[in-house]
Amino acid sequence: MEPQGKIWMDGAFVDWADANVHVLTHSLHYGLAAFEGLRCYRGKSGSAIFRLHEHVDRLFESAHIAMMTIPYDKKQVAEAIVETVRINKLDACYIRPLVYIGYGAMGVYPGDNPIKLAVAAWKWGAYLGDDALANGMRARVSSFTRHHVNVSMTRGKISGYYVNSILAKREAKADGYDEAIMLDPEGYVSEGTGENIFIVRKGRIKTTPLTSILEGITRNSVIELAREQGIVVQEDRFTRDEMYIADEVFVTGTAAELTPVREIDNRRIGNGKPGPITAALQKAFFSVVRGEDAAHASWLTRI
């Protein structure tokens, strides 16, 4: 991570190196915090944040699920995100808003500890690497199971839930893979450590329904782009072996964007290269985020 100039913290910009919290900050100990990930892209007509308002909506939904009341309204948070990009003079970046429980009472019950908000932005290229974005990544099915809906409420983007992702990612990387794919508690494919999963068979797309997975904003965008191209998209459960025999597999997410998967559990997917539907949707996605698709201009907030 390349340090930038300023981070927005509770209504004011502070120097990057001074954006600190107390070691007894409640969320640091117990993991109850909500966050978002957004991207700002450089385009022909300048830079723009992709689906800013949808991300702000989801941040508020996650905080609501976690019983945290954000001390700002949605307009103020959206403005803080835009200003964080502007003040750091970034034309392309990743943006991280974080809502957390601050210093005060210690113990599982946070009492009336203050709810804090920070927004940071930094330069970040292809999350899974440029080669994976172009040629596909290698993944393994993890030994770790994704959350049950009544253990961790899966519609919330909650910091503590990602311990599960960290363990799965470390296991996959230690075994020489780029990413992990997790199954749900009933053994069906759920999602990656930070991505939604799509498979393509016989010209149709299938993706996990909104049961054990986060309601991905990039996922939603890609489903819409696919249907506009006349591709049938089913939201339905599927098994790990259906991934093995798929013609194409790809993952989506703010960080991962749209990344092909060329191999799972040492089994080649299709011909081992990004397939035609994956390539077409990846092209359409990047056309949108770079401001080249006027039909989806409403998805962009200009900086």
* Cα–Cα dist 38/52, whole Å: 7
Q: What pLDDT score was predicted for residue 149?
A: 87
In the chain, the largest separation of any two C-alpha atoms, in whole Å, equals: 57
Cα dihedral 259, 158, 13, 54 sign: positive
219 burial class (0-12, 13-18, 19+ CB within 10 angstroms)? buried
* pLDDT attached to residue 287: 97
> pLDDT under 70 in the chain at which residues?
none
The whole-number pLDDT of residue 2 equals: 86
Q: What fold, for 6-122?
A: D-amino Acid Aminotransferase; Chain A, domain 1 (3.30.470)
Catalytic residue among 157, 169, 273, 283: 157
pLDDT recorded at residue 266: 97
**CA–CA gap between residue 219 and residue 201 (Å, rounded):** 18
Q: Is 59 helix (H, G, I), strand (E, B) or coil?
A: helix
Specify the pairing of strand 233-235 against strand 204-207.
parallel
Query: Could you state, in order of their start, the residue ranges of all structural domains in the chain?
Result: 6-122, 130-289
Is 157 an active-site residue? yes
Q: What is the pLDDT of residue 212?
A: 85
CATH class of segment(s) 130-289: alpha beta
User: What is the helix, strand, coil percentage profile of the chain, to 5?
Assistant: 30, 30, 40
Task: Note the pTM of the prediction, 2 decimals.
Answer: 0.95
pLDDT at 211: 87
pLDDT for the residue 243: 98
Q: Where are the alpha helices (DSSP H) in 93-216?
A: 130-135, 162-174
